[in-house]
């Protein structure tokens, strides 16, 4: 600085001082300046080069390409369902004692869907096509197809359709685990039957559990966005600015029934796992870790003297379950699974929902202040690592294997109907006292001709229904068993 002061005039000195004052103000705003001496024609001058230590604003985002690409892959889903309603007729009731007659009528609904493959596999929401007896899909170029239902998963509100098309415009699927808060997204669908509608917003939260899916073992770990979504958007696409699918629009937070600020989408990774299961097995292969848990809060952490204030607290370990086999104990706090941070129960259920029975997960827990790692092999809800078909799960849910009676067996036992309990696996049959080789003749007073008819009758049960099984013990004694489904 001495050289500068000795060689520059006083006005330059004031300019330099002014620069120093400006520098102090600029530094407080995130800018830094470096003074350099420029010497030209035997004259020296001071120059400040400014640089910023803050991130520069992102370039303006162009949604055009993403919107045009996605619109062609989003379809309009129209459904026809049958409803039954009892219409009360007081005249018949009072004068003739006749009960009201059930009346059948058709109800039409609509939603959206996303083309996943060029040959016509389409994903939508389960609630869009629930109870539909006819499903019509209309593409962006107004081609119409009647869709076939491949399968549904009420626990994630996902359904898979198939149309007989070719060279269809499909969407490209992104890794939804890489979605970041504040990221721009587009919602594409058919709100209020306004086809091919595009709205924009940002990802405002991840891993949202809003208790909207009324199913046992429901998985809710939604992406939350402020892109406008309304009735008819259900089943439509949530895409990033590259036009890649990051989620399936499913629900809105609203008191009026229309958009009021937030909407929710099933993450693409979870959706794809469900879709692949439905295509390959006809049902979703759910994997369970075998614990009961509570989300860690500041209050719980203080009460139990935990060393973490977020994660999943293991409140109970199911005997013989995956966690039990791996060595996880009651009181452990799970904070990471397969490299993904676990801060809430929704985080854990989302990770589990992306895996099948038999797959191995690396689980990190904090136990009394020390971190430990466990390798957990996931199991299905029957406690095995097998993949189950719909029928296998149904039969095994009774806790038994059954087989048809041969013609010779029927002749020897003097029976026209019946199936044999070939193996007891535990569960309902064991709890009810049914033994191996018991012959089932009736299920809820309906004759059971073979295993297929038994499965057909069993599919009609709902939680809480009474089950009555009638037949013969191995010694020939008639007997019956009753339990709740």
Residue 231 token pair: 């009735």
> Which residues are CB-contacts of 479 (< 8 A; sequence separation ≥ 6)?
438, 470, 471, 472, 473
Using CA atoms, how far apart are residues 314 and 292, in angstroms rounded to an integer?
A: 6
Who's near 134: CB < 8 A, 6+ residues apart? 79, 80, 146
Long-range contacts of 334-340 (CB under 8 A, 24+ apart): 334/293, 334/363, 334/364, 334/365, 335/308, 335/310, 335/311, 335/364, 335/365, 335/366, 336/363, 336/364, 337/361, 337/362, 337/363, 337/364, 338/362, 340/177
Rg from Cα positions in the chain: 32
Residue 276, φ and ψ in degrees, nearest 5:
-65, -40
251 neighbors 208 (Cβ within 8 angstroms): no
Can you list the alpha helix ranges (DSSP code H) found in 286-402? 298-304, 322-326, 345-353, 390-397
Catalytic residue annotation: 127, 157, 234
């Amino acid at each position: 600085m001495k050289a500068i002061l000795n060689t520059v005039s006083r006005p330059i000195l004031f300019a330099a001082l002014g620069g120093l004052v400006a520098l102090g103000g600029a530094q407080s705003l995130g800018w830094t300046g470096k003074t350099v001496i420029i010497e030209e024609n035997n004259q020296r001058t001071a120059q400040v080069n400014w640089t910023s230590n803050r991130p520069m604003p992102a370039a303006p985002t162009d949604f055009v390409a993403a919107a045009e690409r996605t619109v062609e892959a989003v379809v309009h889903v129209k459904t026809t369902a049958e409803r039954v309603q009892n219409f009360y007729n007081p005249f018949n009731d009072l004068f003739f004692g006749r009960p009201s007659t059930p009346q059948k009528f058709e109800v039409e609904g609509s939603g959206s869907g996303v083309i996943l493959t060029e040959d016509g596999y389409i994903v939508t929401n389960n609630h869009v096509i629930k109870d539909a007896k006819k499903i019509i899909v209309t593409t962006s170029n107004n081609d119409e197809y009647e869709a076939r239902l491949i399968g549904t998963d009420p626990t994630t509100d996902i359904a898979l359709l198939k149309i007989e098309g070719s060279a269809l415009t499909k969407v490209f699927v992104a890794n939804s685990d890489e979605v970041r808060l504040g990221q721009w997204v587009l919602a594409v669908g058919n709100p209020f039957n306004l086809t091919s509608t595009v709205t924009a917003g940002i990802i405002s939260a991840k891993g949202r559990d809003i208790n909207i899916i009324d199913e046992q073992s429901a998985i809710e770990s939604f992406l939350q966005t402020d892109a406008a979504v309304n009735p008819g958007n259900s089943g439509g696409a949530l895409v990033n600015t590259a036009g890649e699918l990051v989620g399936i629009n499913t629900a809105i937070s609203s008191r009026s029934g229309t958009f009021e600020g937030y909407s929710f989408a099933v993450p693409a990774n979870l959706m794809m796992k469900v879709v692949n299961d439905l295509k390959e097995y006809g049902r979703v292969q759910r994997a369970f870790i075998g614990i009961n848990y509570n989300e860690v809060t500041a209050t719980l952490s203080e009460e139990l003297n935990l060393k973490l204030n977020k994660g999943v607290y293991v409140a109970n370990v199911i005997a013989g379950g995956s966690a039990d086999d791996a060595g996880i104990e009651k009181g452990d706090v799970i904070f990471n699974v397969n490299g993904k941070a676990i801060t809430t129960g929704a985080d854990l259920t989302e990770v589990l929902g992306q895996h099948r029975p038999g797959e191995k997960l690396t689980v990190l827990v904090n136990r009394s202040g020390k971190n430990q790692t466990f390798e957990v092999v996931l199991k299905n809800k029957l406690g095995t690592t097998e993949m189950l078909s719909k029928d296998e799960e149904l039969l095994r849910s009774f806790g038994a294997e059954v087989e048809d009676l041969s013609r010779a067996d029927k002749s020897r036992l003097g029976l026209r109907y019946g199936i044999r309990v070939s193996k007891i696996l535990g569960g309902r049959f064991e709890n009810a006292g049914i033994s191996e080789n018991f012959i089932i003749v009736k299920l809820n007073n309906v004759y059971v001709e073979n295993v297929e008819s038994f499965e057909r009758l069993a599919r009609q049960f709902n939680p809480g229904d009474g089950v009555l099984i009638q037949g013969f013990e191995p010694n020939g004694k008639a007997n019956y068993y009753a339990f709740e489904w």
